[in-house]
Structure 1
Amino acid sequence: MSRETDLIDTFYRAFQRRDAAAMAACYAGDAHFHDPAFDLYGADIGAMWRMLCERGKDLRVEFANVRADGDKGSADWQAWYSFSASGRPVHNIIHAEFRFRDGLISEHLDNFDFWRWSRQALGAPGMLLGWSPFLQKKVRAQAAAGLAAFKQRG
């Protein structure tokens, strides 16, 4: 295994333990994270993982297909959890792309089917509007507000 595949493995094993501090330590200080709900830089990435790990009382994570070649890498991962806003069960299937710099993650892009996720997490509104930019924008705004509130409480 390369240093980069070891880093991805370390990251997801920390996620399985809900160890947000160990996850955050895998990122460069000026890293960028993006998925359909969040677009974050720097310390906000660690705060997001801390929030998700703390809220995810029933969170289960599995990962596979870890690959890295030079400054790029990828992995497939799945998460099972109860969505905090609705209590509804979610099984999310994600493909992650990474870029590395100086032995740390500098960019992390998580890609998943937002409509599939919204049907599970939100029920009827997700079924009807999960494909729409309106609902996607609303979820992003709620995610940003939730993270800001989480950071305020320390």
Structure 2
Amino acid sequence: MSHIAIIEQFYGAFANKDLPKMIDCYHPDVEFQDPVFGLLDYEHTCAMWDMLIKAGADLEIYFDNVQSEGDKGSVEWGAIYTFSKTGRKVHNRIKANLQFADGKIIKHTDQFDLWRWTQMAFGPIGFVMGWTPFFKSKLRAQVRRSLLSFMKKNQA
């Protein structure tokens, strides 16, 4: 399968909330990183997508500008959803940079404007505090706790 086909399969599956098909695109040694979750290994990455899919009753995913060259690829994608903690609508625009090994995604880095996201998710508090290292640190710690709690509740 081409790298473009892998990217399209991953984000098409995400749009359809098809976790097994998403996970099938990942190498067992995958590393995921973004401004909210930080750096995650395979197990935590898979659980993160599962948590986001299950929490996102109104989650809409779209993607375009899929590119690939050599062992690298990229895609621009977006997520529209209601942030469960505040009930506020979020439209996050993300640029994903991917690296491939053995026909799978081995490195997945999502980049987006965290301050913009905090403004949508938290409103005025996000506008005033969302850019600060303190807020970012607290947010990441809370998200990590939520992920670990989700993983514990959903163990096989």
Give me the whole-angstrom Cα distance separating, in 2, the residues matched to 1:36 and 1:145.
16
Give me the whole-angstrom Cα distance separating, in 2, the residues matched to 1:83 and 1:21.
24
Match of 1:48 in 2: 48
TM-fit CA distance, 1:62: 0.6
1:65 is the counterpart of 2:65: yes
Match of 1:83 in 2: 83
Tell me if structure 2 keeps the 8 A contact 1:75–1:96: yes
Give me the whole-angstrom Cα distance separating, in 2, the residues matched to 1:28 and 1:131.
33
Tell me if structure 2 keeps the 8 A contact 1:21–1:50: no
Give me the whole-angstrom Cα distance separating, in 2, the residues matched to 1:134 and 1:66.
35
Give me the whole-angstrom Cα distance separating, in 2, the residues matched to 1:89 and 1:57.
12
Match of 1:124 in 2: 124
Q: Please list every run of 5 or more consecutive structure 2 residues that lacks an aligned counterpart in the other structure.
A: none
> What percentage of aligned pairs have identical amino acids?
44
TM-fit CA distance, 1:57: 0.3
Give me the whole-angstrom Cα distance separating, in 2, the residues matched to 1:27 and 1:132.
33
| 4-13 vs 23-32, greater mean Cα deviation | 23-32
Measured on the aligned residues, the alpha-carbon RMSD in Å equals 0.9
The two structures have a TM-score, normalised by structure 2, of 0.95
Question: Once superposed, which parts of structure 1, at least 4 consecutive aligned residues long, lie more than 3 Å away?
Answer: none
Tell me if structure 2 keeps the 8 A contact 1:74–1:96: yes
Give me the whole-angstrom Cα distance separating, in 2, the residues matched to 1:105 and 1:86.
33
Give me the whole-angstrom Cα distance separating, in 2, the residues matched to 1:9 and 1:26.
10
Match of 2:14 in 1: 15
Equivalent position amino acid for 2:69 in 1: D
Equivalent position amino acid for 2:116 in 1: R
Match of 1:34 in 2: 33
Give me the whole-angstrom Cα distance separating, in 2, the residues matched to 1:64 and 1:82.
22
The two structures have a TM-score, normalised by structure 1, of 0.97
Give me the whole-angstrom Cα distance separating, in 2, the residues matched to 1:29 and 1:19.
18
**Partner SS, residue 74 of structure 1:** strand
1:103 is the counterpart of 2:123: no
Equivalent position amino acid for 1:99 in 2: Q
Tell me if structure 2 keeps the 8 A contact 1:4–1:68: yes
TM-fit CA distance, 1:42: 1.3
TM-fit CA distance, 1:70: 1.4
**Partner SS, residue 108 of structure 1:** strand
TM-fit CA distance, 1:55: 0.4
